[in-house]
Amino acid sequence: MPVTRRDFCRTLFAASQTALVGKLITNPLRADEAVAGALNFGLIGDWGRYGRPDQVQVAQQMAIACKTAGATFIVSLGDNFYEDGVASLHDPHWRQSFENVYAAAPLQVPWYVILGNHDYHGKSEVQLEYGKKHPRWIMPARHFAQTHQIDASTTADFFYIDTSPMISEYKNAPIMASVHLQDVPGQLDWLDRSLAASQAQWKLVLGHHPIYSAGSGHGDQQDMIQMVLPILQKHNVQAYFAGHDHDLQHLKAGDMHLFVSGGGSEHRPVNPNPHSQFSEGISGFAMASLRADELQVRFIDNLGNQLHAATVPRVG
């Protein structure tokens, strides 16, 4: 998608206005909302639109929140580049949708990245290659795990999964030819075995597609309900994070908490369902603070307002 001079000027104007918004937000994050001694991180999905329509605003507020919380990393929940992924390492999308938009100092932390369905419209392998030259972009494989130390006796294992190959409706989509090449049974076996082997006190799983969802764009994902949910419940995963629906949501499936942070650049209406604890069709992102005994998740909109806060207790 080419960017015209008019679009470029509009993005600069939006950035300047957003800088003002960052100083005038009606419900700013307080310093005491950062959890001392916690692993603090941000989560954002469905963002890469050349700064439009709300991407610049969301990025500005996420920078404020990450600075306040002392966030040590950010999770990108997929659909990193609209509409059709990236074509090469030199695609202007990298600069215009990622490097220029998330340029603030608090965002210069590691980004743990997974692929979304729109990333499969382009050359998805390029996003893995980008990380070899740009250390902020961490995607060592299409699915991978990362361990974080919370305190001397508490660790958290994060499992990043590639959900697009699991979605049956994509199997006959010509624009997503590379999705057919992925080994879904192998990935599910890896997830099952890795969760079983984990000795961590916290087990969190992150993917692009939600399990249950109140989003009007996509809603519940039956393939995820059938294939992924039983594995997560079997191993007592405390929380699952996703994007895909362009909104902010907190849901529950039994004792497991489900979060959707797909408002990185635009939003759609929501239709709450029986699993919903909170849902709002608004642009924004999530901030998480993980301690030994609990996980706190907050949703923040593109104007800096905190919309919802959830506490996930450690189980086991």
Give the active site residues: 218
C-alpha–C-alpha distance, residues 160 and 228, integer Å:
12
Q: Give 195-199 contacts, CB < 8 A, sequence gap 24+.
A: 195/159, 195/231, 195/232, 195/234, 195/235, 195/237, 196/235, 198/157, 198/235, 199/155
Q: What's 95's DSSP letter?
A: I
Q: Which distant-in-sequence residues (6+ apart) come within 8 Å of 215 by Cβ?
A: 244, 245, 246, 247, 249, 260, 262, 268, 270, 271, 279
Burial of 313 (0-12, 13-18, 19+ CB in 10 A): exposed
Taking alpha carbons only, the member of 245, 223, 118 closest to residue 167 is 223
Q: Are 164 and 116 in contact (CB under 8 A)?
A: yes
Return the exposure string of 9-19: e unless at least 16 CB atoms fall within 10 Å of the residue's CB, then b.
ebbeebbeebe
Q: Which distant-in-sequence residues (6+ apart) come within 8 Å of 17 by Cβ?
A: none
C-alpha–C-alpha distance, residues 119 and 112, integer Å:
15
C-alpha–C-alpha distance, residues 185 and 284, integer Å:
34
Q: Are 56 and 15 in contact (CB under 8 A)?
A: yes
Q: Are 241 and 77 in contact (CB under 8 A)?
A: yes
C-alpha–C-alpha distance, residues 144 and 112, integer Å:
10
Joined tokens for residue 78: 């997929």
